[in-house]
Structure 1
Amino acid sequence: MPDVCAAYGCSNRRCLKTRTRGITFHLFPKTRERRRKWEVALRRDSFAASDRTLLCSEHFRSEDFDRTGQTVRLRDGVVPSIFNFPAHLQKPVATRRTTTSRRVEGALPMDLMPDVEATGESSLSCKQQATDHLLYTLPACPKAIKAKLEEATAIVRKLQREKSNALKREKRVKNNMKALLRMREQIILLELNLPPAKSL
């Protein structure tokens, strides 16, 4: 039986047809913490991934992949983020309705007030987005704050790994250069100590 992508509404199967389309399949992470993040990203009730559960490459961004080797691999710490969820699984847009936020909205000049479109949804104008207050306020929901913190922590960990890898690569290159220079020195010394070539 062919392996099928575990994402909601995705019917990609591991077969020759998907391989020719360039779709790759990836097992859920082995570590419990990372596996849980993938399970949460799928938004499926009571879903628990097994050791053979797969996700296809269509649920990851292009920058999530490491294509330097012979096989396409996911970079460390990535979480699937591209899904086509139905309306009941979409994340609701959090709106802050606290006394403080109402006071701030009331104190904003008219050109900084949210624009209300015909759909009834409010979108922030460019000027409002640029105000310091909106750039630095924290979300009202603790879960949103935790999610922001986890996202920032993941970015920091990723950058630290990239820095560490870059330093290791730099050290390897320096060692290789030193070895090549030593070899060159030895070759030159050997050439200098050789007797002159006999003429025919």
Structure 2
Amino acid sequence: MRGITFHKFPKEKELRRQWEFAVRREHFSASDYSVLCSEHFKLDDFDRTGQIARIRDGAKPTVFIFQRLGVSLGYKELREHPYAMPASPTGLKTRLSEALARVESLERDRRNTKVRERRAKKTVHGLLEDLRGKNLINEELKERLDFYSGKIKL
């Protein structure tokens, strides 16, 4: 998913323990390869001065779904990120159907937007012609409008 970054658990023991505790998984111990996604950190926890988003020294993950729900969730539920694959084929099929419906809706919106854009361009073109026909624009403005109206494709 776009904009999500992944960050390794810190090597420093105390901070690593705090990250592990924040995750709230029973008997969880992070390995050298364990990561958390950027969704679990506040915006000001990041140093974005370089080309790579880095977690600031001492920052801890504080954003979790279970905090909003007011309940403690297990490992499976914590993996329910937008970029995570559903555990079952039925869940995957549901996600695919939802995604296809969303694509169809966006394509319909795009077509409707293009129709509105063409309609607006025709209206502007008609107004320019009307102004020219009634001689309501001076020569300089007429030249500018001619220049820019050439950019309007009907």
> Which TM class, normalised by the smaller chain length?
0.3 to 0.5
Q: Give the TM-score normalised by the residue count of structure 1.
A: 0.34
Q: Give the TM-score normalised by the residue count of structure 2.
A: 0.44
